[in-house]
Amino acid sequence: MSQQRALVIDDNAQNRKVLVQLLAKQGIDSTEIPDSRKLGNDISAIGAVDVVFLDLEMPGLDGYDVKNLLRAHLGATPIVAYTVHVSEMNVVRQSGFDGFIGKPVDTVRFPDQLARILNGQQVWERA
């Protein structure tokens, strides 16, 4: 079986670092994209990923715009909103995301959340 990969899109370096470390502890390689405005240039080079963690509030393209770009290239790959804006959970669900994990991520619950996402289940949880 090939190595599973995650795509982490967040303009905050500390948030990316925490999530990438949590993913690595679960044996998941990560590709980080710190600037959503450059995604259009990089999207074809991303390759196959098993899950996307996407911040909602970023300069340039917000998470909703980025989700639409990713859907066109990644098909049914789960796209999970990863944000402090827990009040937007219903909007996120209605806009076609596959899940929601509030920041800060709960390091105890994250392994189970990730396993469920990778098994095709939707996860909708506040921090």
Q: Which domains does the chain have, with CATH numbers?
A: 5-125 (3.40.50.2300)
pLDDT over 70 at 2, yes or no: no
Q: How confident is the model at residue 44 (pLDDT cuts 50, 70, 90)?
A: confident
Which pLDDT tens digit goes with each residue over 70-125? Answer: 998 888 999 999 999 889 999 999 999 999 999 999 999 999 999 999 999 999 99
Question: Contact at 8 Å (CB) between 52 and 77?
Answer: yes
Task: Give the alpha-carbon dihedral of 92, 34, 19, 127, to 10 degrees.
Answer: -30
Q: Is the pTM of this model over 0.85?
A: yes
- pLDDT in the model for residue 37: 85
Return the pLDDT at 98.
97
How many CA atoms, within 13 angstroms, populate the side-chain half-sphere of residue 10? 24
- Asked if residue 54 lies in contact with residue 74, where contact means CB atoms within 8 angstroms, the answer is no
Q: What is the pLDDT of residue 73?
A: 87
Helix (H, G, I), strand (E, B) or coil at 60: coil
